[in-house]
Structure 1
Amino acid sequence: MQVIQGKVADRAGLEAAIRRWDEELAPGAVGYLGSTGGFTDDGMFVVLARFESEDAARRNSERPEQGAWWAETEKCFDGEVTFMDCANASTWLAGGSDDAGFVQVMEGHSANRERMFEMMETYADRIKEGRPEIIGGTVGTYGTDGWVEAIYFTSEAEAREHEKMPLPDDIAEAMAQEMPSDVRYLDLHEPVLVSARR
């Protein structure tokens, strides 16, 4: 999974570039599975592009047409654009979904990220019982301690309503112990969800 994000200077231009990539470049991106992207309230754009393998992602990046497209597209950003290559990616519950009405992207660093993900798997079914609006999630790791997770919800209204409800004590305690405190949240109110055409 590749995660790309940056401050947007020309939203209309970026939206047009994304449409052009989907129409013209996506058909030739062998191994591309789909993407989740969107704009935040503070003018950031983030996209999580999924590939069947690290090699497939690298081959796509090396295509001449990809390089030419990016040379134009990066002009739509204000300043540096960040790239995170997550060689290890997985899903929990139903994973990502093109039916999601709201997506929350979380980013952070944790020396115990494997334990954090194990905890998510352990409590997944019980979390789903208390938070039925959660469809699932996609998680990627990079470097020695970096991680990115996208959680897919049926709607933002349902997510906001249910997040007010307390979790069972044992789950709340485990999350308090394992979840890092410096998590960055990127709320995609109008997510752009794409699955590769087969």
Structure 2
Amino acid sequence: MFVQVIQGQITDAEQAHTAFDRWMEELAPEATGWLGSTAGVTADGRFIVLARFDSADAARRNSESPAQDKWWHEFSTLLTGGAVFHESEDVTVDQAGDPNAAGFVQVIQGRASNPKRARALMAEHPEEWAAFRPDIIGSLLAIHDDGAFTTALYFTSEAEAREGERKEPPASLKATMDELNSLDAEQPVFFDLDQPWLFSPR
């Protein structure tokens, strides 16, 4: 899998959502290799989208499409200060349910001092995690250059996610969480998408 992350400050969340709905209607049917997208705007106007493709070549072909170029040119007028792009072929996906049914998505960006160890830790104790946090119905981890990463966590709802955050984890999971936190090479940045836009091929 290949993931392209695009982010920036948006001027009008409603117009941005309308633009993505139009992309689904007009461009998605021709986007060969596109697997789905997670997008949204935070309360303070930060936009982010994680577009998933089956390969980097499929993403490149989509970007080179004249229709896609025209759509992006129009969409980018809603961004102040332009867009920032990240890409990754080092992608790990976990599904405990249907991420497309998520009522709340939290995207986390940061940098890990040891990305391989972080990825291994995230894969530990899957049954314990499922029992402890049934509100988490999926996750996606994309590792970029120099240890930078983008993670998307898919929750049943924001209320259940916040309730889950307050729970005290069992000792085994707490040890994993503590080690994960120790690998942060910089303060993570959070994008809380309380109205996530979840798109997939029809």
TM-score (norm 2): 0.92
The more displaced of 90-99 and 71-80 is 90-99
The more displaced of 77-86 and 167-176 is 167-176
Q: Secondary structure at the match of 2:130?
A: helix
Letter of the aligned partner of 1:133 in structure 2?
Answer: D
- The 2-side partners of 1:10 and 1:103 are apart by 20
Taking the TM superposition and a 5 Å limit, the aligned residue runs for 1:14-33 are 14-33=16-35
- The 2-side partners of 1:39 and 1:47 are apart by 9
Q: Secondary structure at the match of 1:30?
A: coil
Q: Give yes or no for the alignment of 1:182 onto 2:187.
A: yes
Deviation at 1:196, TM superposition (A): 0.8
Deviation at 1:95, TM superposition (A): 7.0
Taking the TM superposition and a 5 Å limit, the aligned residue runs for 1:31-180 are 31-94=33-96, 97-179=99-181, 180=184
Specify whether residues 58 and 95 from structure 1 end up closer, same or farther in structure 2 by C-alpha distance, changes over 3 A only: farther
Map of 1:196 onto structure 2 = 201
Residues 98 and 193 in structure 1, CA contact (< 8 A), matched pair in contact too: yes
The more displaced of 83-92 and 167-176 is 167-176
- The 2-side partners of 1:185 and 1:113 are apart by 18
Query: How many percent of aligned residue pairs carry the same amino acid?
Result: 42
The more displaced of 126-135 and 165-174 is 165-174
CA deviations over 1:101-126 (Å, ceiling 9, x no partner): 11111111112111111111112221
- The 1-side partners of 2:120 and 2:177 are apart by 11
Residues 112 and 178 in structure 1, CA contact (< 8 A), matched pair in contact too: no
> Which 4+ stretches in 1 moved above 4 angstroms?
none
The runs of 5 or more residues in structure 2 that have no matched partner are none
Deviation at 1:142, TM superposition (A): 1.2
Q: Secondary structure at the match of 1:98?
A: helix
Deviation at 1:53, TM superposition (A): 1.0
Deviation at 1:174, TM superposition (A): 2.6
- The 2-side partners of 1:46 and 1:12 are apart by 14
CA deviations over 1:8-57 (Å, ceiling 9, x no partner): 11333322221221111111110001111111011111111111111111
The runs of 5 or more residues in structure 1 that have no matched partner are none
**For this pair of structures, how many residues does the alignment match?**
197
- The 1-side partners of 2:137 and 2:63 are apart by 30
Deviation at 1:79, TM superposition (A): 1.0
The more displaced of 149-158 and 7-16 is 7-16
Aligned residues: CA RMSD = 1.5
- The 1-side partners of 2:97 and 2:4 are apart by 16
